[in-house]
Amino acid sequence: MKRVPADECKYDFERTYYEKELSRIFNGKFQIKTNDFIDMAILDAFMEHDDGSLFISFDKKLLSIISKSKLESLQKKHYGYIVASTALREIFTGRFTGRFTGRPSPINAIIIKKGAEMKKLTPEDIHRLCAFRDETPWLEFKTNWFEPDELGRYISALSNAAALSGVPEGYLIWGIQDGIHKVIGTDFDYLQSINNEPLEHFLARRVVPSIAFSFEELQVDGERVVALRVPTAVKVPTSFDHVRYIRIGSSKENAEKYPDREGELWTILRYGYPSVVNTKSPTQELKFSKFLIYCAAKGFEIRPENFEKNFKLRTEEGEYNLLAYILSDSNDVHVRVSTFNGKTKADPLYSVTEYGCTCILYAMDSILEFGKTINVMQADETDRVVERKEIPLFDSKAYREAVINAFVHNYWLGLNGPQISVFSNRIEILSHGSLAPKQNLHGFYIGESVPVNQALSDIFLQLRISERSGRGVPKITDVYGKDAFEIDTNFICVSIPFKHVLGIGVSTEPTSKPTSKPTSMSTHQLNKTQTLVLNEMRDNPNVTIEELKKILSLKNTAIKDAIRILKKNGFIARVGSDKNGYWKAE
Q: Do the domain assignments include residue 386? A: yes
Q: How high is the pLDDT of residue 47?
A: 26
Q: What is the rounded distance in angstroms from the CA atom of residue 261 to the CA atom of residue 169?
A: 19
Q: How high is the pLDDT of residue 381?
A: 63
Q: How confident is the model at residue 461 (pLDDT cuts 50, 70, 90)?
A: confident
Determine the number of helices (DSSP H) and then strands (DSSP E) in the chain: 17, 27
Q: State the pairing for strand pair 44-47/54-58.
A: antiparallel
Q: How high is the pLDDT of residue 180?
A: 84
Q: Do the domain assignments include residue 314? A: no
Mean pLDDT for 134-151 is 90
CATH of the domain at 380: 3.30.565.60
Task: Decide which of 254, 271, 288 is a domain's last residue.
Answer: 271
**Nearest CA to 327 among 468, 466, 463?**
463
pTM over 0.75: no
What count of other Cβ atoms lies within 10 Å of the Cβ of residue 12? 9
171-194 in b/e form (b: 16+ CB < 10 A) is: bbbbbbeeeebebebbebebeeee
Mean pLDDT for 327-335 is 94
Q: What is the rounded distance in angstroms from the CA atom of residue 340 to the CA atom of residue 426?
A: 10
Q: Has residue 134 got a pLDDT over 70?
A: no
Per-residue DSSP letter, 15: G
Which ranges in 131-279 belong to alpha helices (H)? 148-165, 199-204, 259-271
Residue 3's H or E segment, with its range, is: strand 2-5
Q: Has residue 348 got a pLDDT over 50?
A: yes
Q: Do the domain assignments include residue 288? A: no
**Nearest CA to 322 among 410, 246, 262?**
410
CATH of the domain at 207: 3.30.950
| Higher local confidence (pLDDT), 21 or 271 | 271
- pLDDT digit string (tens) for 511-541? 444 344 444 555 557 888 888 888 888 777 7
Per-residue DSSP letter, 276: T
Q: How high is the pLDDT of residue 384?
A: 58
Q: What is the rounded distance in angstroms from the CA atom of residue 174 to the CA atom of residue 223?
A: 11
Q: How high is the pLDDT of residue 87?
A: 35
Q: Verify that 356 and 431 share a domain, yes or no.
A: yes
Q: How high is the pLDDT of residue 107?
A: 26
Q: Verify that 73 and 45 share a domain, yes or no.
A: yes
Q: Has residue 6 got a pLDDT over 70?
A: no
Residue 497's H or E segment, with its range, is: strand 491-497
Q: Verify that 93 and 134 share a domain, yes or no.
A: no
| Higher local confidence (pLDDT), 3 or 308 | 308
Q: Do the domain assignments include residue 290? A: no
What total number of domains does the chain contain? 4
8 Å CB contact between 176 and 139: no
Mean pLDDT for 487-493 is 85
Give the highest mean pLDDT range of 199-208, 266-275, 456-465.
Answer: 199-208
Mean pLDDT for 371-375 is 90
Rg (CA), the chain: 31
Q: Has residue 167 got a pLDDT over 50?
A: yes
Beta strands in 232-346 (DSSP E): 239-240, 243-248, 251-254, 336-340
- pLDDT digit string (tens) for 54-102? 222 222 222 333 334 444 444 443 332 233 333 344 444 444 333 333 3
Task: Decide which of 84, 113, 142 is a domain's last residue.
Answer: 113
Q: Do the domain assignments include residue 39? A: yes
**Nearest CA to 347 among 538, 534, 582?**
538
Mean pLDDT for 138-153 is 94
Q: Verify that 567 and 427 share a domain, yes or no.
A: no
Q: Do the domain assignments include residue 352? A: yes
Q: Verify that 109 and 140 share a domain, yes or no.
A: no
Q: How confident is the model at residue 176 (pLDDT cuts 50, 70, 90)?
A: very high
Q: How high is the pLDDT of residue 364?
A: 95
8 Å CB contact between 333 and 415: yes
8 Å CB contact between 159 and 230: yes
Q: Has residue 338 got a pLDDT over 80?
A: yes
Task: Decide which of 456, 472, 503 is a domain's last residue.
Answer: 503
Q: How far is CA 478 from CA 60, 391, 446, 483, in A?
A: 66, 18, 11, 11
Which ranges in 298-341 belong to alpha helices (H)? 307-310, 322-327
Q: How confident is the model at residue 43 (pLDDT cuts 50, 70, 90)?
A: very low
Q: What is the rounded distance in angstroms from the CA atom of residue 434 to the CA atom of residue 221?
A: 31
3-state secondary structure of 215: strand
Q: What is the rounded distance in angstroms from the CA atom of residue 299 to the CA atom of residue 311?
A: 16
Q: Verify that 48 and 195 share a domain, yes or no.
A: no
Q: What is the rounded distance in angstroms from the CA atom of residue 375 to the CA atom of residue 367?
A: 12
Q: How high is the pLDDT of residue 50?
A: 27
Q: How high is the pLDDT of residue 118?
A: 53
- pLDDT digit string (tens) for 101-122? 333 322 222 222 333 345 788 9
Q: Verify that 488 and 352 share a domain, yes or no.
A: yes
Q: Verify that 57 and 6 share a domain, yes or no.
A: yes
Mean pLDDT for 141-149 is 94
Q: Has residue 124 got a pLDDT over 70?
A: yes
| Higher local confidence (pLDDT), 134 or 300 | 300
**Average pLDDT, rounded, for the chain:** 75
Q: How high is the pLDDT of residue 382?
A: 62
CATH of the domain at 548: 1.10.10.10
Per-residue DSSP letter, 487: E
Q: Percent of the chain scored above 70 by pLDDT? A: 72
The region of weakest confidence among 17-26, 212-221, 344-353 is 17-26
Q: Verify that 77 and 216 share a domain, yes or no.
A: no
The region of weakest confidence among 1-15, 80-94, 314-328 is 1-15
Mean pLDDT for 371-392 is 75
Q: Verify that 84 and 129 share a domain, yes or no.
A: no
Q: How high is the pLDDT of residue 330?
A: 94
Q: What is the rounded distance in angstroms from the CA atom of residue 504 to the CA atom of residue 382?
A: 13
Q: Do the domain assignments include residue 510? A: no
Contacts with 222 (C-beta within 8 Å, 6 or more apart), sequence order = none
Question: What range defines the domain where residue 553 resides?
Answer: 523-585
CA 30 to chain centre: 36
3-state secondary structure of 362: helix
Q: Percent of the chain scored above 90 by pLDDT? A: 37
Q: Has residue 52 got a pLDDT over 80?
A: no
Q: Give the burial class of 563: count Cβ atoms within 10 A of its Cβ; 0-12 exposed, 13-18 middle, 19 or more buried.
A: buried
- DSSP secondary structure of 41-106: --BEEEE-TTT--EEEEE--S---B--HHHHHHHHHH--SEEEE-GGGHHHHTT----B--SPPPS
Mean pLDDT for 389-416 is 90
Q: Verify that 252 and 374 share a domain, yes or no.
A: no
Q: How far is CA 431 from CA 495, 499, 539, 545, in A?
A: 12, 24, 21, 29
Q: Do the domain assignments include residue 353? A: yes
CA 210 to chain centre: 26
Contacts with 232 (C-beta within 8 Å, 6 or more apart), sequence order = 159, 162, 163, 167, 168, 169, 170
Q: Verify that 253 and 168 share a domain, yes or no.
A: yes
8 Å CB contact between 104 and 21: no
